[in-house]
Amino acid sequence: MQPILKFLSAKFAWILLAAFIAFIVAEGGVGVLIKDWRFAVELAVDGVLTGLMYSLIAVGFVLIYKSTDAINFAQGEFVMIAAIVVAGCLDWFGLPLWLSILVGFGFMVVFGMTLERFVLRPMIGMNIVAIIMATIGLAFFLRGAGPLIFGAAPSTINLPIPDSPIVWGLLYLTPIKLLGAAVSILFLAGFGWFFLKTRKGVAMRAVADSHQVSMAMGINVERYFAVAWVTAGVVALLGGLAWGNMIGVDTQLALVGLKVFPVVILGGLDSIIGVIVGGIVVGLVEALTAGFVDPYVGGGMKDFAPYVLMVIMLMIRPYGIFGRRLIERI
Amino acid sequence: MLRLNNIEVMYNNVILVLKGVSINIEEGKITTILGANGAGKTTTLKAISGVLRSERGEVTHGTIELAGERIDRMMGHDIVRKGVVQVFEGRRVFANLTCAENLIAGAHVEPSSAAMRQRMDMVFEYFPRIAERRHGRAGYLSGGEQQMLAIGRSLMSNPKVILLDEPSLGLAPLIIEEIFTIISRLNKEQGVTIGLVEQNANLALRISDFAYVMENGSIMMEGPAAQLLDNADIKEFYLGISEHGERKNYRDVKSYRRRKRWLS
Ligand SMILES: Nc1ncnc2c1ncn2[C@@H]1O[C@H](COP(=O)(O)OP(=O)(O)OP(=O)(O)O)[C@@H](O)[C@H]1O
Ligand SMILES: [Mg+2]
């Protein structure tokens, strides 16, 4: 009985997912019929690029989860803070761009280290819920403190990247999105290699598996924690530059962090490949919904479609497409 | 080699679990700590390996010395570098890593990759079953295989002392026999000093040189393993043999009183 039920519920899961995919395809199909297919392709390409830029934000989250087993609800705020620092250097101090980015880099390194040392390290051994609450508190603190210190006026980071789209065959590609997506893939590939192929990467995964046992293997757990938080901070700087350039720098920027959740739930909380695929799926769903559904329903569906997908995913495959299944045998 | 001098351990600054424990683990020997559930055996091993802090525990009194050097104030990861490694109760393999990756993580203190591979080959020789499953996820191994992996992983740091916490826990008699044979071989062939915590007193005493009996956070009895194997109380409480069969006599009653005191 049990196995049959399991089988059925697994099937049900796939039916739901297939229905959703059919919905997306239908979106595209209808779009092709009533608009033109070039529009559909363009939306899809734009969606994929945007999605990869979501991956760039989500990877910081995954890094922290993979190595410290903590869920960082403040990843979007990291992005915001990094962008605010860079924008502040540009606007207030009139520093050149490269120097501003360097200051932002230094700031995020110190920021990650401080956070690990004074907030997360004392919490080692505490309940995971306590750590989650701490990061939620941190998120709200940063959202308040960022504008307080650096001013609330919206600003932008102008990267020396042309705004006019690159025309490639039938496609119009936004340069900043291309660059963002390329940086994203580069970093994700780098992290994937690190975790799978290097001894330090293996140690980091061991730390995530069990702090105590890793310590007993001679692994300096606290140092790995610090490395994880600093890396998450630095990756947030990249996200902040790309997104800050695109949508401007103010507290709203932190909201891109919310996209992290559908991305990582779809791809799997601890999977680097999952971050890429999850990002692409979320970007696609968003772009197609924005292009083909929103005009008829008066807009707004674009923003919650990825979350619908996320909820379906949670029902059928809580560990995501590529995430590890929790092994329950002892 | 490893000497605990009158140590006290407290959890959360209030729960006193070890109340003055002195233990000497001699170089090249196998030393066993026996004791009922909750006696403080695991806490003793964790105090040595320095991982108490991650459970909000602390050595509040006494000293732990490794070859004359105090290690009770050291961090767990530095103690491994000194050559003491603990194999935890319940195996605790890295479930999401492959067997080979578990061993790689175990060799963290070994900077040379070539030396690491050599040690890995040695582990595979002792545990051919792990060699066969080296690319499989550790979480899917059987209990016995996980115990082998846990022991193999501890060997990767090239330890002088291995602390084994109940390696027989939840395993079938045949596997237990196999694991104890390997422990004994490691001690003889590799010269590793072994500190063993066990409930399975019979087996443990048979491969050990010296033994301690712990009760309620203190040492109640100590002596050469062979001597403890002969001791009437040990026989009754751990080996399940009573001297006069089922017949109730004065001796049994006396032992029963003693047992009650033991377990209180
Ligand atoms: N992290 C902890 N915090 C508080 N108390 C603890 C902690 N760990 C162990 N204890 C307590 O310390 C006492 C000794 O525990 P310990 O695990 O050392 O016993 P043990 O001899 O290994 O028992 P067993 O044979 O069941 O493994 C127990 O009463 C236990 O409740
Ligand atoms: Mg124990």
Q: Whose CA is nearest to atom 22 of ligand 1?
A: B42
Q: Which of A203, A216, A327 sits opposite B51 (nearest CB)?
A: A216
Ligand 1 binding pocket includes B46 (Cβ within 6 Å):
no
User: Are the CB atoms for A316 and A55 separated by under 8 Å?
Assistant: no
Ligand 1 binding pocket includes B218 (Cβ within 6 Å):
no
Which ligand is located closest to the Cα atom of residue B33? 1
Give ipTM to 2 decimals. Answer: 0.83
Contact A217 B157 (CB under 8 A): yes
Q: How confident is the model at residue B28 (pLDDT cuts 50, 70, 90)?
A: very high
What is the mean predicted confidence (pLDDT) over A79-87? 91
Provide the pairing of β-strand B161-165 with B193-198: parallel
Each residue of B58-90: pLDDT tens digit?
999 999 999 989 998 898 889 999 999 999 998
User: Dihedral of the CA atoms A135, A140, A144, A146 (nearest 10)?
Assistant: 40
**Which pLDDT value is given to residue B63?**
93
Q: Which of B56, B76, B80 sits opposite A125 (nearest CB)?
A: B56
Q: Let me know if B25 is exposed, middle or buried by CB neighbors in 10 A (0-12, 13-18, 19+).
A: buried
So where are chain A's domains? 36-316
Q: Which chain B residue shows the shortest CA-CA distance from A223?
A: B77
Q: How confident is the model at residue B144 (pLDDT cuts 50, 70, 90)?
A: very high
What is the mean predicted confidence (pLDDT) over B111-117? 93
Q: Whose CA is nearest to atom 26 of ligand 1?
A: B37
Residue A200 tokens, joined: 């330090």
CA distance A60 to A76: 10
**Which pLDDT value is given to residue A102?**
94
User: Are the CB atoms for A329 and B140 separated by under 8 Å?
Assistant: yes
Which ligand is located closest to the Cα atom of residue B214? 1
Q: Which of B50, B80, B90 sits opposite A217 (nearest CB)?
A: B80
Contact B97 A203 (CB under 8 A): no
Each residue of B223-252: pLDDT tens digit?
999 888 887 666 666 655 555 544 444 444
Q: Which of B75, B88, B104 sits opposite A213 (nearest CB)?
A: B88
Each residue of A263-289: pLDDT tens digit?
988 888 878 888 888 999 999 889 888
Determine the residue type at A156. Answer: T
Ligand 1 binding pocket includes B55 (Cβ within 6 Å):
yes
User: Are the CB atoms for B44 and B198 separated by under 8 Å?
Assistant: no
Closest among B11, B3, B1 to B217, alpha carbons compared: B11
Answer yes or no: is pLDDT of B152 > 90. Answer: yes
Closest among A35, A33, A81, A45 to A60, alpha carbons compared: A81
> Is residue B171 situated within a structural domain?
yes
Query: How far is C-alpha B38 from the chain's CA centre?
Result: 15
> Is residue B61 situated within a structural domain?
yes
CA distance A183 to A205: 24
**Which pLDDT value is given to residue B29?**
94
Tell me how crowded residue B125 is: count the other CB atoms within 10 A of its CB: 9
CA distances from A33 to A38, A296, A298, B170 (A): 11, 15, 20, 65
Q: What is the DSSP letter of A64?
A: H
What is the mean predicted confidence (pLDDT) over A202-210? 89
What mean pLDDT, rounded, does chain A reach? Answer: 83
Contact A216 B85 (CB under 8 A): yes
Chain B touched by A124 (CB under 8 Å): yes
pTM, two decimals, is: 0.81
Chain A touched by B167 (CB under 8 Å): no
Each residue of A29-68: pLDDT tens digit?
665 566 567 777 888 888 999 999 999 999 999 888 888 8
**Which pLDDT value is given to residue B260?**
42
> Is residue B260 situated within a structural domain?
no
Query: How far is C-alpha A57 from the chain's CA centre?
Result: 3
Q: To probe the interface with B, which of A124, A202, A211, A271 has the most B CB atoms within 10 Å?
A: A202
Distance from CA of B214 to the nearest CA of A (A): 24
Closest among A183, A164, A184 to A174, alpha carbons compared: A164
Helix H segments across chain A? 2-34, 37-68, 75-91, 97-115, 128-150, 175-197, 199-209, 211-216, 221-247, 260-267, 272-288, 294-297, 301-316
CA distance A162 to A159: 8
Overall domain count for chain B: 1
**Which pLDDT value is given to residue B262?**
44
> Is residue B146 situated within a structural domain?
yes
Chain A touched by B137 (CB under 8 Å): yes
Element at B45 (helix H, strand E): helix B41-49
> CB-based contacts of A171: which residues, under 8 Å, 6+ apart?
A41, A42, A45
Distance from CA of A314 to the nearest CA of B (A): 21
**Which pLDDT value is given to residue B241?**
55
Closest among B117, B206, B189, B209 to B156, alpha carbons compared: B117
Which ligand 1 atom is nearest residue B39's CA?
A: 21
**Which pLDDT value is given to residue A317?**
72
**Which pLDDT value is given to residue B263?**
41
What mean pLDDT, rounded, does chain B reach? Answer: 87
Answer yes or no: is pLDDT of A95 > 90. Answer: no
Closest among B200, B258, B176 to B34, alpha carbons compared: B200
Sign of CA dihedral B259, B262, B263, B264: positive
Q: What is the CATH number of the domain that holds B199?
A: 3.40.50.300
In chain A, what residues touch B53 (CB-CB under 8 Å)? 125
Among A130-139, A245-254, A296-305, the minimum mean pLDDT is found in: A296-305
**Which pLDDT value is given to residue A30?**
64
**Which pLDDT value is given to residue A93?**
82
CA distance A229 to A221: 13
Q: Which chain B residue shows the shortest CA-CA distance from A203?
A: B105
Closest among B109, B110, B101 to B130, alpha carbons compared: B101
Answer yes or no: is pLDDT of A220 > 60. Answer: yes
CATH level 2 (architecture), domain A36-316: Orthogonal Bundle (1.10)
**Which pLDDT value is given to residue B123?**
95
The residue assigned the tokens 């903590």 is: A70
Closest among A50, A52, A45, A48 to A184, alpha carbons compared: A52
Sign of CA dihedral B253, B257, B263, B264: positive
Determine the residue type at B117. Answer: R
Closest among B54, B59, B164, B97 to A212, alpha carbons compared: B54
Answer yes or no: is pLDDT of B169 > 80. Answer: yes
Contact A203 B85 (CB under 8 A): no
The residue assigned the tokens 């003889």 is: B188
Residue A48 tokens, joined: 């994929």
Percent of chain B with pLDDT over 70: 88
B110 is in which domain, residue-wise?
2-252
Q: How confident is the model at residue A186 (pLDDT cuts 50, 70, 90)?
A: very high
Residue B102 tokens, joined: 């578990």
Each residue of A123-135: pLDDT tens digit?
876 778 888 899 9
> Is residue B222 situated within a structural domain?
yes
Residues in chain A: 330
Each residue of A108-167: pLDDT tens digit?
999 999 998 988 888 876 778 888 899 999 999 988 887 787 776 778 888 888 878 887
DSSP string, B132-181: HTTTSBGGGS-HHHHHHHHHHHHHTT--SEEEEE-TTTT--HHHHHHHHH
Each residue of B35-56: pLDDT tens digit?
888 899 999 999 999 988 878 8
CA distance B141 to B171: 13
